[in-house]
Amino acid sequence: MDNDQTKERNKSFLRRRVIGPETPAPEEENEADLDEQLRAHRLRKWIIILVLLAIVAAAGVYLYNRHKNRVFSESEVLEEVDVPGVSGASFVQYLSGALKVTGDGVSYLGDKGQTVWSTAYSMKDPMASVAGPYAAVADRMGRDLVICSEKGIFGQARTTLPITRISVSQNGIAAVVMEDAKASYVEIYASDGSRLDIEIKALLTQSGYPMDVAISPNGQILAVAYVYFDQGLMKNQVVFYNFDEEGKEYVDRVVGGFKEYEEVMIGDVVFLSNQAAVVFATDRVDFYNLRRSNEPSLRASVPIGQEISGVAYGHSRVAVLTKNAGTPGLVTVYNTSGDEVFTYEPTYTPEKMELTDRGLILYGGQHLTVLRENGKVRYNGTLSGGSAHIVQTAEDTYLQISEVGLRRIRLK
């Protein structure tokens, strides 16, 4: 019995001598539990924050899309603006407002209809060209030219021959077409009104008579639509000139000519960018590629089956209004590649169209239609007093210019 008790005591003693895992102190256990609780609390807080941010973002997207896709049914007059000389003036969209052009001078009306600047001249039949911050005004069949920037008149010039057409670039370079009894001439003027050492002469018996002219935004490429006679038949062509250093290597700076229009009349020639030009003919719309400025090429030719009654261009798109029997017409919008973007059938016959960075505006009489970039209707209604010109100054705010005055209106 004593031996057994002795063995048990020895075993117990040996067990106490064995080194085992250290039992944590109560204070350490409490610290570990506290750290775990803090980590869980932080995780829950971040989850709540992320959920709230997701809710706010979703609400923002919903409200943005709701406003963007909203269809307005009414408009309201924000204010009547007293602008003298509205009757008889012509208006061109310019910067955030409009350019008012009369025989006595030109004025820039800002986004609230206020006169930002005004300059006086005397012209019998003024015509205007606008590109970016620059505008050129010339006296048709006269000899006076003024070039304006966003700060007012920038340069003036007086030509040696009567002016028939003008086109200005986004850096203020103006192409001026003049004529006498035997030939037409294109002279180039800098933004300060000084004449550059570039002149194009086209004999009426050879190149023909210029019907329209357009200069590229950078002022380096000029496109001219000519009508000429070939064996007693009146034909049409488009000629591209290069005023850059590359153009010096070509005869008369001509880098491309397209005579395939034959007897099809050309109405307008425009540039959508430095690399894209468009020709509006009576039966087609042609899109030209000028990625290589000395090798213009026809990118696409879109046949138009109906009579073209109106065109608009800008912001890398063109709009064509055609007459359809039994309907007010059809509007088709194309991109620079000649691809159809959308079509729209108005319920009235539009008198004017304006392409903006937000879509397309159609108006005529008391009617106004605003289309989004995808062709969806944003507004289709009437405006009291009628409209000679509509200028979009903000997303839903416009200047309504009529023979009796100017209003700021807002869709609602």
What pLDDT does 53 receive? 85
Question: 259-314: per-residue pLDDT in tens?
Answer: 999 999 999 999 999 999 999 999 999 999 999 989 999 999 999 989 999 999 99
Q: Is the pLDDT of residue 320 over 70?
A: yes
What pLDDT does 102 receive? 97
If you count DSSP H runs as helices and E runs as strands, how many of each does the chain have, helices first?
Answer: 2, 32
- Residue 79 identity: E
Q: Is the pLDDT of residue 5 over 60?
A: no
Average pLDDT over every residue of 91-104: 95
The per-residue pLDDT of the chain, averaged, comes to 89
Average pLDDT over every residue of 160-174: 97
Domains of the chain, start order: 308-412 (2.120.10.30)
Cβ neighbours of residue 150 under 8 Å, at least 6 residues apart?
A: 95, 108, 116, 133
Q: Is the pLDDT of residue 256 over 90?
A: yes
Q: What is the 3-state secondary structure (H, E, C) of 289-343?
A: ECCCCCCCEEEEEEECCCCEEEEEEECCEEEEEECCCCCCCEEEEEECCCCEEEE
User: What confidence tier does 19 reach under pLDDT thresholds 50, 70, 90?
Assistant: very low
**Residue 1 corresponds to which tokens in the numbers above?**
């019995």
What pLDDT does 10 receive? 54
CA–CA gap between residue 151 and residue 155 (Å, rounded): 12
Q: Is the pLDDT of residue 255 over 90?
A: yes
Q: Is the pLDDT of residue 258 over 70?
A: yes
What pLDDT does 66 receive? 59
User: What confidence tier does 339 reach under pLDDT thresholds 50, 70, 90?
Assistant: very high
Q: Is the pLDDT of residue 18 over 60?
A: no
CA–CA gap between residue 34 and residue 106 (Å, rounded): 77
Beta carbons within 10 angstroms of residue 360's beta carbon: 26
What pLDDT does 165 receive? 97
For tokens 């086209």, what's the residue? 202
Q: Is the pLDDT of residue 13 over 70?
A: no
In this structure, the dihedral spanned by the alpha carbons of residues 172, 177, 178 and 180, taken in order and rounded to 10 degrees, is 170
Q: Is the pLDDT of residue 85 over 90?
A: no
Q: Which of 182, 362, 354, 213 is nearest to 277 (CA)?
A: 213
CA–CA gap between residue 222 and residue 401 (Å, rounded): 33
The answer to whether 86 and 93 have CB atoms below 8 angstroms apart is no
β partners of residue 120? 105
What pLDDT does 134 receive? 98
Segment among 11-15, 55-59, 276-280 with least mean pLDDT: 11-15
